[in-house]
Amino acid sequence: MIRNLRFRKRTSVSISRRILTPIIFVLLAFVFCGFLLAAVGSDPFAVYARMMKTVCSYSGLTRSIEAGIPLMLTGLAVSFGYRMNLNNIGADGQYALGSLFCIGFALYGPVMPAPLKILCMFLVSMLGGALAALIAAFPKAKWGVNETILTMMLNYIFLYVMDFLMYGPWKERNQMVAQTRAIREKYWLPDLGDSGINSVLLIVIAIAILLYFFHTRTTWGYEMEVIRQSPRAAQYAGMSVAKATLLVLCASGAIAGLAGFAQVAGIIHRVQANLPNGAGYTGIVIAFLAGLNPIVVLLVGFLFGALQISAVAVQLIGVPSQVAAMIQGTIMLFVVAGEFFNRYELVGRKK
């Protein structure tokens, strides 16, 4: 009888269950999207086959990585904030400001030797992201103002600043497209041999490993974990929650800002209007799916990159490219729903 069934909280979750559950629910999400595709008149099998074919080529692989790199960085940024229960919804805007700082320095900054210039570009893009986050972090730390709303609303501001510069003073001359001119080739980060993969990927991987190490092995990571789990215990232990809030949100913004550096120094070598293209929001999904684990964020970021380029490919057979956004959203919903089964199990009532 249904009345005799109830959900009970699991006391422990096995590793295999923890890995298998999200995979199963991702597959279910694709099945569900298949029905949606069929409903709008496409053949879901043809669409999925086309997507698979696109991704499973070498150029598909490199383009997936390329599309995935900014997503990995925003995913890392968001999960870093969540590691202290801070909802950084503003990775989009931080990415935008980071890219503007980076391109501004690259195009209009002082001339210097290439390695130094690239290092400075790296630093100013972090600075840009951190400043964008600081505007939300300071009121949060000082007065407890809700950072979710602040970071989200700031996105619009930075995206409009970006539009202003792209359509206005920084627009490349004699071009129809709202974008800056490209930076000089000597400031480009090289590709890894002939692979067609840019070396900025190594920087992203290094950051993920550093963050992983930070969370598991350092006293700051420990402090973040205590604050996340029990702010009262943190206070009792003499930790400054306000200071940590300020630093963590700014660091989260800095990581998001690096997505701008990755684009300017590594991938497209310029800035275009609406460059973030929702990467900050996708980063939230990625952070969640990856369970806030920085290493897993890389993997999920790559998969979402693949999803995006394959969605562009299916446009050729007449499917709107928004299908990527649809699948992303569906995956998110399904995996969150699946998480429920990791936490609870269905059992018969005892009495």
Partner 1 sequence: MKKEIDPVLQMRHITKTFGSVTANRDVDLSVYPGEIHALLGENGAGKSTLMNILTGIYRPDGGEIWYKGQKRDIHSPKDAVALGIGMVHQHFRLIPTLTVAENVYLYSGKKSFFLNRDKMEKEIRECSEQYNLQVAPEAYVWQLSVGEQQRVEIIKLLNQGAEVLILDEPSAVLTPQEAQSMFDTLRKMADSGKAVIVISHKMNEVMKNADRITVLKNGRVEDTMPASEADVERLTRGIVGVRTLPEHDKEQPSPEEPAQAGQQPSPEEPAQAGQQPSPEEPAQAGQQISPEEPAQGAQQTSTAMEEEKKHMCGEEIFFMEGVSAQNDRGLPALKKISLSVRAGEIFGIAGVAGNGQRELSEVIAGLRPVTEGRVLLAGKDLSKATVKQHILEGIAFIPEDRLQTGLVPELTFTENIILKSYETDRYSRRGILQKQNMRSDAEEYAGRFDIRHGGLDLPVGLMSGGNQQKLLFAREVSGDPRLITATYPVRGLDIGAAESIRGILREQSRKGAAVIFISEELEEIFAMCDRVGVLCDGELMGIRTIGETDFQEIGRMMSGEREETK
Q: Which is nearer to partner 1, 40 or 237 (CB)?
A: 237
Q: Give me the least distance between CB of 229 and partner 1, in Å please.
A: 4
Q: Give me the least distance between CB of 336 and partner 1, in Å please.
A: 20
Structure tokens at 238: 């003499």
CA dist., res. 310 & res. 39, Å (int): 20
Q: Give me the least distance between CB of 225 and partner 1, in Å please.
A: 7
Q: Which is nearer to partner 1, 237 or 295 (CB)?
A: 237
CA dist., res. 155 & res. 185, Å (int): 30
Q: From its phi and psi, is residue 296 left (phi > 0), alpha (psi between -120 and 50) or beta?
A: alpha
Q: Which is nearer to partner 1, 43 or 339 (CB)?
A: 339
Q: Which is nearer to partner 1, 171 or 228 (CB)?
A: 228
Secondary structure class of 5 (helix, strand, coil): strand
Q: Give me the least distance between CB of 42 and partner 1, in Å please.
A: 45
Q: Which is nearer to partner 1, 184 or 217 (CB)?
A: 217
Q: Give me the least distance between CB of 238 and partner 1, in Å please.
A: 4
Q: Give me the least distance between CB of 241 and partner 1, in Å please.
A: 11
Contacts to partner 1 by CB under 8 A: 11, 217-223, 225-226, 229-230, 232-233, 235-238
Q: Give me the least distance between CB of 349 and partner 1, in Å please.
A: 15
Residue 34: is it exposed, middle or buried by C-beta count within 10 angstroms (0-12/13-18/19+)? middle
Q: Which residues contact 222 (CB under 8 A, 6 or more apart)?
A: none
Identify whether the C-beta of residue 155 lies closer than 8 Å to the C-beta of residue 89. yes
Q: What backbone phi and psi angles, to 5 degrees, belong to 198?
A: -80, 145
Q: Which is nearer to partner 1, 11 or 174 (CB)?
A: 11
Q: Which is nearer to partner 1, 192 or 233 (CB)?
A: 233
Give residue 266's identity as a one-letter amino acid code.
Answer: G
Structure tokens at 308: 């995006």
Residue 326: is it exposed, middle or buried by C-beta count within 10 angstroms (0-12/13-18/19+)? middle
